[in-house]
């Protein structure tokens, strides 16, 4: 899945989009090695050094990878493992529209 994630990062380099990982590798060394070896540019929470770590337990995650997509307001808009691209494209458009709207409103207020 890394190539897919890398392509998303490239595609949305200038857009309001970020990958945030929750990593369940055994050690910080393993996480750092994965980031270096696979050229991963996004940040991850280190979840306690294994599956069943505190974040995964609180979120009820029992299968990896598990993916949530959140919109720019932090609302969960998608949960699953496939068909991410459409959801992301839709939400990035929404986020950009919201940003443009906010800028227009700010410009309007400034006049």
Partner 1 sequence: MRSSVRRMLYYDGMMTHTKNTFITAAALPLVLMPVATAHGSALPQVTQQHQQPVTRVDDEADRLIKELITESEESDLGYVEAYKAFKPKFEQFAADHRGTEAEVRALLWLIQQTWWLRAEGTMSEAAMALTEDLLERHPKSKQLDLLVEFQYVFTKEQRAALFGSLLKDSPHAHVKAAAHFGLAKSGPAKNEDGEPNEHYQALLGPYANVKWRESTYGAIANSYLNPHPAEALAVGAVAPEIEGTNHEGKPMKLSDYRGTVIMLDFWGNW
105 binds partner 1 (CB under 8 A): no
Among positions 10, 11, 13, 74, the unique one binding partner 1 when judged by CB under 8 A: 74
11 binds partner 1 (CB under 8 A): no
Q: How far is the CB of 7 from partner 1 (least distance, A)?
A: 12
Residue 36, helix vs strand vs coil: helix
Measured CA distances, 80 to 29, 41, 75, 106 (Å)? 28, 22, 15, 37
101 binds partner 1 (CB under 8 A): no
Among positions 7, 41, 52, 103, the unique one binding partner 1 when judged by CB under 8 A: 52
104 binds partner 1 (CB under 8 A): no
62-69 CB contacts, 8 Å cutoff, 24+ apart: 64/24, 65/1
């Amino acid at each position: 899945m890394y190539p897919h994630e890398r392509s998303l990062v490239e595609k949305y380099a200038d857009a309001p989009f970020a990958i945030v990982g929750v990593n369940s590798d055994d050690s910080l060394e393993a996480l750092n090695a994965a980031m270096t070896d696979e050229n991963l540019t996004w940040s991850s929470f280190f979840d306690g050094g294994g599956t069943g770590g505190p974040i995964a337990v609180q979120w009820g995650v029992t299968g990896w990878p598990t993916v949530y997509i959140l919109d720019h307001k932090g609302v969960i808009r998608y949960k699953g493992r496939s068909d991410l691209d459409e959801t992301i494209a839709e939400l990035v458009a929404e986020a950009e529209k919201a940003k443009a709207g906010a800028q227009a409103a700010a410009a309007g207020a400034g006049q």
